[in-house]
Amino acid sequence: MNVLIIRDVRVVDALGEGHGDVVIQDGFFVARGRGLSWPGALVLAGEGRTLLPAFVDLHAHFRDPGFPEKEDLTTGSWAAAHGGFTAVSVMANTDPVCDRPEVAHYILEKARALHLVEIYPVGAVTEGLQGEKLADLQALAPWVWAYSDDGRGVERADLLVEAMRQAVALGKPILSHPEFSGWPHPLAEELMVARDLRLAQATGATLHLQHLSSPHSVELFRQAKAAGVRATAEVTPHHLCLSQEGVGNYSVNPRLPREEARCALVEAFRAGVFDAVATDHAPHTPQDKARGAPGISGMETAFPLLYTRLVREGLISLAELSRHLSLGPARILRLRKGLVRVGFEGDCVLVEEDESFVVDEAFFLSKSKNTPLLGTRLWGKVWATIHRGEVIYLDGLVRGRDYHDHRQVVRAG
């Protein structure tokens, strides 16, 4: 029996908050209260820190297989643990592309051997992400949780309709990277959002819209959802917190909004329009970034950036942020995570709300440091990450890199 007691914490999740101790037994939350004890338990002293459900990321790039100079499953998992994430959905734009079962199997087996965070592969919609021929969605189905040609939109409507029909039969969602090539942004996004929502309505497919950045796209989504379309949507930390006026023309896809549009995204976020925050963690080498490769290494800064810019500024509550970083994405992935409640998986993160730090290259456990936040002071430092009752990150130490047994970093109670 594996039991961990986390003592003296402020517990916050999407349903509220309290103070006391939390008990995780055999991977699940089994008790909350004050002065709890359990035979044979290990004890982690929270010392008044804030405990949240661990974060779930619907959208990340770990570049494995194919691009080890940018990231791999090992360093990506370190970065996830450092950022407070215990479940990560990785996109199909690897090399080879995740358009066949053996690639997804490789990802799953390597992640399982690391014994750190849960990795959920996304299968490609089309072969090689080329948008010309459907991948074998049925063969991929046992190994992936969803299908997406992330990095480019599926421009052929006939292919997308057939993919949606097959996805319905297989019980999988379609993740849309909404952008038509050759059209100016944000029109490129808005046109594909409108089309994909209408096709989802026509086919009965479950559609998830990735990294919405246009207020008009958000309004199209809101209307479709109200009309009963089976759709969800994510927004990234950088589209909520950064603008062209603030950091210049930093290369991301979709590009950073103007300040007026960013404020509109925040207002939609506050109104509960979005279902989840997703990082779109996109590591690059300095050479690739200098050549204009789009993307931010954002998994490790996601919580402190959102906490600093939204929670500390009084725009949202910490419970609302937890809903979007934990419960919302967990529901989309169909995981029993996202709440610190009895019967939910024992994944949680301890943060130091009153601790600030300056983002520098030494901060990152990811191979890549590509971010416009270098030199920025943020609040809300992740102190510990627990996955199903086992400490996988604690105050700068990562399991598998700095220690191998979580009992090495907690004391017996």
Q: Say whether both 74 and 128 belong to one domain.
A: yes
Give the three-class secondary structure for 278: coil
Number of domains in the chain: 2
16 shares a domain with 82: no
Question: Does residue 339 lie in a domain region?
Answer: no
Instruction: For residue 99, give both structure tokens.
Output: 């358009």
CATH of the domain at 404: 2.30.40.10
CB atoms within 10 A of CB 356: 14
Radius of gyration of the chain (CA): 20
265, 300, 333 — which closes off a domain?
A: 333
End of a domain among 267, 298, 333? 333
Q: Are residues 98 and 237 in the same domain?
A: yes
Does the residue 359 lie in any domain? no
Per-residue pLDDT reduced to its tens digit, 352-406: 999 999 999 999 999 999 999 999 999 999 999 999 999 999 999 999 999 998 8
Dist CA 233 CA 235 (whole Å): 7
Confidence band for 60, pLDDT divided at 50, 70 and 90: very high
Give a yes or no: residue 253 inside a domain.
yes
What pLDDT does residue 249 have? Answer: 87
pLDDT in tens, 244-301: 999 988 999 999 999 999 999 999 999 999 999 999 999 999 999 999 999 999 999 9
144: pLDDT strictly greater than 50: yes
With respect to residue 363, please indicate whether it lies within any of the assigned structural domains: no
Nearest to 211 by CA among 243, 181, 179, 242: 179
pLDDT grade for 413, boundaries at 50, 70 and 90: very low
With a cut of 70, say whether residue 411 has pLDDT above it: no
Q: Strand, coil or helix: what is 330? A: helix
pLDDT, mean of residues 129-151:
97
288 and 156, same domain (yes or no): yes
What are the start-end ranges of the H helices in 58-206? 73-83, 101-114, 137-140, 157-170, 187-203
Q: What is the dihedral of CA 184, 216, 14, 207, to 10 degrees?
A: -70
**Same structural domain, 256 and 187:** yes
Residues 31 and 70 in one domain: no
Q: Mean pLDDT, to the nearest integer, of 60-74?
A: 97
- Give the pLDDT mean for 120-149: 98
Give me the pLDDT at residue 1, please: 67
154 and 29 both lie in a single domain: no
Domain identity same for 406 and 279: no
CB 284 within 8 A of CB 42: no
Is the per-residue pLDDT at 231 higher than 70? yes
CA–CA distance, 152 with 261 (Å, rounded to integer): 23
Same domain, 131 and 274: yes
| pLDDT computed for residue 412 by the predictor | 52
- Give per-residue pLDDT as tens, 19-52: 999 999 999 999 999 999 988 899 999 999 999 9
Q: Catalytic pick from 72, 280, 288, 360?
A: 280
Among 372, 349, 348, which Cα is nearest to 359's?
A: 372
Active site residue 95: no
Q: Are residues 304 and 221 in the same domain?
A: yes
**Structural domain boundaries enclosing 273:** 54-333
Tell me if 340 is assigned to some domain: no
Burial 192-230 (b: 16+ CB within 10 A, else e): bbbbbbebbbebebbbbbbbbbbbbbbebbbebbeeebb
Asked whether the predicted pLDDT for residue 65 surpasses 50, the reply is yes
Q: CATH number of the domain that 191 lies in? A: 3.20.20.140
- pTM for the model stands at 0.97
Calculate the average pLDDT of the chain: 97
- My answer on whether 283 and 387 are in the same domain is no
Domain assignment present for residue 361? The answer is no
Instruction: Judge whether 357 lies within some domain.
Output: no
Residue 225 lies in a domain: yes
Residues 44 and 107 in one domain: no
